[in-house]
Amino acid sequence: MRGALLPSQLRAITSTRSGALTIFIVRRILWMIPILFFVILITFTLMHLAPGSPWDKAGGRQLSDTVINNLNIRYGLNKPVAQQFLLYIWSVVHFDFGLSYQYQNKTVSGLLLESWPYTATIGLLAFLLIIPVGVGLGVLAALRQNTRIDYITMGFATVAASFPNFVIGALMVVVLSVLAYKATGGNFYLPAAGFGIDDSLIMPVVTLALLPIAYTARLTRASTLDTIRQDFVRTAWAKGLPERLVVIRHILKNSLIPVVTTLGPTFAFLVTGSVIVETVFSIPGIGRAFVVAIESRDYPMILGTTVLFSLVIAVANLVVDVAYVFIDPRVRLT
Amino acid sequence: MAQTLLQVEDLHTQFYTSRGVVRAVDGVTLHVDAGETVGVVGESGCGKTMTALSILRLVPDPGRITSGRILFAGKNVTKMTDDEIRDFRGNDVAMIFQDPMTSLNPVTKIGSQIEEAMTAHQRFTQTLARGRVVELLKRVRVPAAESRVKDYPHQFSGGMRQRAMIAMGLSNEPSLLIADEPTTALDVTVQAQIIQLMKQLNRELGTAMMLITHNMALVASLCQRIIVMYAGRIVEEGPVDQIFKSPQHPYTWSLLRSVPRVDEARKERLVSIRGLPPDLLNPPPGCKFHPRCPFVIDKCKVDPEPNLGEVDVNQVARCWVLMRNVKDESLEAAKTSALSKEAAEKLKAPVAEVGGGAGG
């Protein structure tokens, strides 16, 4: 029986907390396989149901039937759809996401690797901005409820949540790039485009982060206010603990649990890119690439991007679930 | 005469709500002597808990102590600075709350929660405090204390959690322990254990106790003195035996009549008090108990309540009538008329209903 786990051995492993955690993670990772399969199936079906073909706009003119026929043969689109699907799954299993239809001789993996780093950098930076700013503002507003600090913070959050980010992005470009350039004679301004690791990142990151910051701040405030009124917080005060300990050990340790839950999806949302932000700041990121791929019916590119996004979301949720085990002792691994 | 530990003088705690001012505590004067156990009784919403929270200056928003003095061992609690009040809480006076299910932090280990109560006051170093946690849990009879310090509250049963709360309260050896309905959330067998435990701790450690409850049985078994509160004021006060034997305020009398007693003849009926405590936003004129009082006279409806007057040795009451002046026939009448219609109907039925404890 070497190699296989006996039920008794399995029980021995799951009886320890770290063992249970390992099994939990392994199981969740295995679950990703059927999830990805269905994601591909649904995307594939929808894609083929959508009107139009990849060659409608190719080269900017109507192609002749012969050319279209040859292209279909070259990319295997003449085969029955079911067979195409199975072939695609087969190649995905071999980590081959195929060739893009729009760009000659470019692999989907190559295109994703080109564009995703830009998106991921901006998304990651925005995420790193959200945690201290969003959570910080929320906690501050809750602890100073009904004071000026609370009103200003929540006013800011409401405004930030109401403005669409193309407005905020465009506004920032006008004010911080154009007007600032004119006013200072070109000495101080923020670049509105460009994609190095430099100050050209500031505006896109802020634009992208503003909405999640507002949501995180509001959620944190609500959750913290709820916790402040709990009996155990009164117990903590009655013990004579200093305010700092009451806030950190008793209020925040509890009130931030729901906030952590939302950080997983927020992270996934940020690193999968925003077409609007990428368009406003001319970033060659994955958000734009995805939209272009859909417009031109670049089937492999659409599928490849979808697979990547689902993986990111699944992993982000897994990380949150594992984090839960450490921050909330009541969570049981099942 | 024992030394006075806590002296509360003319305490007023008010809540400023959008609908008006609520006088939750309306001129309460009381004292607790060193080592003594005092019971504060009354229905829900009579200001018992607010009195206790006022003593620790933990009145929740939008409430405020508006006037009065709280003296603890000569120190004026109402005038303490933030640092002083912080060191006073949990150190001089500890409080145990009603619901052990929600009064412990769910994401922190029991041991750490008891430990931090000690380290907050610099009486114990961290190492010393850690060692003491096990000792305290053993003292409140938590089995396998050594391993249970690492447990979280959700791994404890209700009774065990209340023991942990008591251990926390005792950790700094306070001279006064305020227990706010410590047994209400527990089932009867566990209640008995907790009462036993508190009795023993009071005897062994000499900790004075202020027991807030609406459970007369609990007061009878634990306390030496009773303070009866109604609508934010003290209406009667005195030694336990005396109050149980001859209550002078009709409210005290009614409270006692609503509790089943083993030593009394079966023919005595349990009586519930008609109606509900008054809305403190809009208290009735005259004596606040008069709409519910079975012995009400015209004077009660108009004149403000009298001051607490001596009715016996060490016993005071705030009433125009006083039970000793009530005639026997009206007493008998009150015993039946105080029943609600439904309750009277039920009594006619063969099965007599007996509520557990004193309501609640």
Query: Is the domain of B117 the same as that of B210?
Result: yes
Task: Return the SS3 of A99.
Answer: strand
Asked whether the beta carbons of residue B103 and residue A236 sit closer than 8 angstroms, the reply is no
Task: Give the pLDDT score at B354.
Answer: 43
Query: Is the domain of B330 the same as that of B283?
Result: yes
For residue range B307-336, list pLDDT tens digits in order: 888 888 888 888 888 888 877 777 777 766
Residue from the list B60, B89, B152 with its beta carbon closest to the beta carbon of A239? B89
Q: Are B227 and B237 in contact (CB under 8 A)?
A: yes
Query: Of the ranges A149-163, B213-227, B318-332, which one carries the lowest mean pLDDT score?
Result: B318-332
Report yes or no on B344 lying in a domain: yes
Residues in B touching A231 (Cβ below 8 Å): 97, 99, 102-103
Question: Over 50: is that where the pLDDT of B246 sits?
Answer: yes
Average pLDDT over residues A159-181: 86
Query: Of the ranges A174-188, B88-102, B277-291, B329-343, which one carries the lowest mean pLDDT score?
Result: B329-343
Question: Over 60: is that where the pLDDT of A283 sits?
Answer: yes
Task: Name the more confident of A187 and B340.
Answer: A187
Look over chain B and give the mean of its residue pLDDT values, rounded to a whole number.
83
Task: Name the more confident of A15 and B234.
Answer: B234
Question: Predicted confidence band at A259 (pLDDT cuts at 50, 70, 90)?
Answer: very high
For residue range A55-66, list pLDDT tens digits in order: 876 666 777 888
Report yes or no on B76 lying in a domain: yes
Query: Residues 266-295, chain A: which have Cβ within 8 Å of B?
Result: none
Average pLDDT over residues A315-329: 88
CATH code for residues A108-327: 1.10.3720.10
Report yes or no on B355 lying in a domain: no
Asked whether the beta carbons of residue B97 and residue A330 sit closer than 8 angstroms, the reply is no
Scanning every residue of chain A, which has its alpha carbon at the shortest distance from the alpha carbon of B84? Answer: A240
Asked whether the beta carbons of residue B106 and residue A330 sit closer than 8 angstroms, the reply is yes
Please give, rounded to a whole number of angstroms, the shortest distance from the CA of B326 to a CA of chain A. Answer: 44
Task: Give the pLDDT score at A94.
Answer: 87
Residues in A touching B152 (Cβ below 8 Å): 329-330
Task: Give the pLDDT score at A58.
Answer: 62
Task: Give the pLDDT score at B356.
Answer: 40
Asked whether the beta carbons of residue B99 and residue A231 sit closer than 8 angstroms, the reply is yes
Residue from the list B91, B97, B120 with its beta carbon closest to the beta carbon of A235? B97
Asked whether the beta carbons of residue B86 and residue A234 sit closer than 8 angstroms, the reply is no
Asked whether the beta carbons of residue A232 and residue B94 sit closer than 8 angstroms, the reply is no
CB of B197 within 8 Å of a chain A CB? The answer is: no
Asked whether the beta carbons of residue B154 and residue A236 sit closer than 8 angstroms, the reply is no
CB of B87 within 8 Å of a chain A CB? The answer is: yes
Please give, rounded to a whole number of angstroms, the shortest distance from the CA of B264 to a CA of chain A. Answer: 40
Question: Predicted confidence band at A194 (pLDDT cuts at 50, 70, 90)?
Answer: low
Query: Residues 49-68, chain B: which have Cβ within 8 Å of A?
Result: 56, 58, 60
Give first-to-last CA distance, chain A, whole Å: 26
CB of A257 within 8 Å of a chain B CB? The answer is: yes
Residues in B touching A241 (Cβ below 8 Å): 86, 90, 116-117, 120
| Residue B189 dihedral angles phi and psi, to the nearest 5° | -65, -40
- One-character DSSP codes across A194-254: --SSSGGGHHHHHHHHHHHHHHHHHHHHHHHHHHHTSHHHHHHHHTT--HHHIIIIIIIHH
Asked whether the beta carbons of residue A239 and residue B90 sit closer than 8 angstroms, the reply is yes
Query: Residues 248-267, chain B: which have Cβ within 8 Å of A?
Result: none
Task: Give the pLDDT score at A2.
Answer: 52
CB of B80 within 8 Å of a chain A CB? The answer is: no
CB of B102 within 8 Å of a chain A CB? The answer is: yes
Question: Predicted confidence band at B355 (pLDDT cuts at 50, 70, 90)?
Answer: very low
**Domain housing B17:** 4-223
Query: Is the domain of B205 the same as that of B310?
Result: no
Task: Give the pLDDT score at A12.
Answer: 64
Residues in B touching A232 (Cβ below 8 Å): 102-106
Question: Over 70: is that where the pLDDT of B352 sits?
Answer: no
Asked whether the beta carbons of residue A231 and residue B97 sit closer than 8 angstroms, the reply is yes
Residue from the list A229, A240, A250 with its beta carbon closest to the beta carbon of B86? A240
Question: Over 90: is that where the pLDDT of A305 sits?
Answer: yes
Residue from the list B86, B89, B104 with its beta carbon closest to the beta carbon of A232? B104
Task: Give the pLDDT score at A128.
Answer: 94
Asked whether the beta carbons of residue A232 and residue B58 sit closer than 8 angstroms, the reply is no
For residue range B58-71, list pLDDT tens digits in order: 998 888 999 999 99
Report yes or no on B269 lying in a domain: yes
Query: Domain boundaries in chain A?
Result: 7-93, 108-327
Residues in A touching B173 (Cβ below 8 Å): none
Residues in A touching B60 (Cβ below 8 Å): 229, 234
Residue from the list A237, A239, A254 with its beta carbon closest to the beta carbon of B107? A254
Residue from the list B87, B95, B152 with its beta carbon closest to the beta carbon of A238? B95
Asked whether the beta carbons of residue B121 and residue A240 sit closer than 8 angstroms, the reply is yes
Scanning every residue of chain A, which has its alpha carbon at the shortest distance from the alpha carbon of B104? Answer: A232
DSSP class of residue A131 equals I
Question: Predicted confidence band at A11 (pLDDT cuts at 50, 70, 90)?
Answer: low
Task: Return the SS3 of A27.
Answer: helix
Q: Give the position of tokens 């209700």.
A: B158
Residues in A touching B99 (Cβ below 8 Å): 231
Asked whether the beta carbons of residue A249 and residue B116 sit closer than 8 angstroms, the reply is yes
pLDDT > 70 fraction of chain B, expressed in percent and rounded? 89
Average pLDDT over residues B181-197: 80
Please give, rounded to a whole number of angstroms, the shortest distance from the CA of B31 to a CA of chain A. Answer: 20
Task: Name the more confident of A280 and A139.
Answer: A139
**Helices B126-139 and B110-119, axial angle in degrees (round to 10):** 120
Scanning every residue of chain A, which has its alpha carbon at the shortest distance from the alpha carbon of B62? Answer: A146
Query: How many whole angstroms separate alpha carbon A5 and alpha carbon A23?
Result: 12
Asked whether the beta carbons of residue A231 and residue B87 sit closer than 8 angstroms, the reply is no
User: Residue by residue, what is the 3-state secondary structure of chain B?
Assistant: CCCEEEEEEEEEEEEEECCEEEEEEEEEEEEEECCCEEEEECCCCCCHHHHHHHHCCCCCCCEEEEEEEEEECCEEHHHCCHHHHHHHECCCEEEECCCCCCCCCCCCCHHHHHHHHHHCCCCCCHHHHHHHHHHHHHHCCCCCHHHHCCCCHHHCCHHHHHHHHHHHHHCCCCCEEEEECCCCCCCHHHHHHHHHHHHHHHHHHCCEEEEEECCHHHHHHHCCEEEEEECCEEEEEEEHHHHHHCCCCHHHHHHHHCCCCCCCCCCCCCCCCCCCCCCCCCCCCCCCCHHHCCCCCHHHHHCCCCCCEEEECCEEECCCCCHHHCCHHHHHHHHHHCCCHHHHHHHHCCCCCCCCCCCC
Residues in B touching A330 (Cβ below 8 Å): 106-107, 152, 154
Contacts across the A-B interface (CB distance below 8 Å): 78
Asked whether the beta carbons of residue A240 and residue B88 sit closer than 8 angstroms, the reply is yes
Question: Over 90: is that where the pLDDT of A170 sits?
Answer: no
Report yes or no on B358 lying in a domain: no
The first and second tokens of residue B241, run together, are 């035996």
Please name the residues in contact with A164: beta carbons below 8 A apart, sequence gap of 6 or more.
A276
Query: Is the domain of B44 the same as that of B172?
Result: yes
Please give, rounded to a whole number of angstroms, the shortest distance from the CA of B117 to a CA of chain A. Answer: 5
What is the value of ipTM here, to two decimals? 0.84
Global pTM? Answer: 0.81
Report yes or no on B247 lying in a domain: no
Q: Are B302 and B285 in contact (CB under 8 A)?
A: yes
CB of A245 within 8 Å of a chain B CB? The answer is: yes
Structural domains of chain B, count: 2
For residue range B10-55, list pLDDT tens digits in order: 999 999 988 888 888 888 999 999 889 999 998 888 888 899 999 9
Residues in B touching A326 (Cβ below 8 Å): none
Task: Give the pLDDT score at B270.
Answer: 67
CB of B90 within 8 Å of a chain A CB? The answer is: yes
Task: Name the more confident of B296 and A266.
Answer: A266
Ranked by mean pLDDT, the top range of B128-132, B160-164, B172-176, B225-229 is: B225-229
CB of B212 within 8 Å of a chain A CB? The answer is: no
For residue range A67-82, list pLDDT tens digits in order: 888 888 888 888 888 9
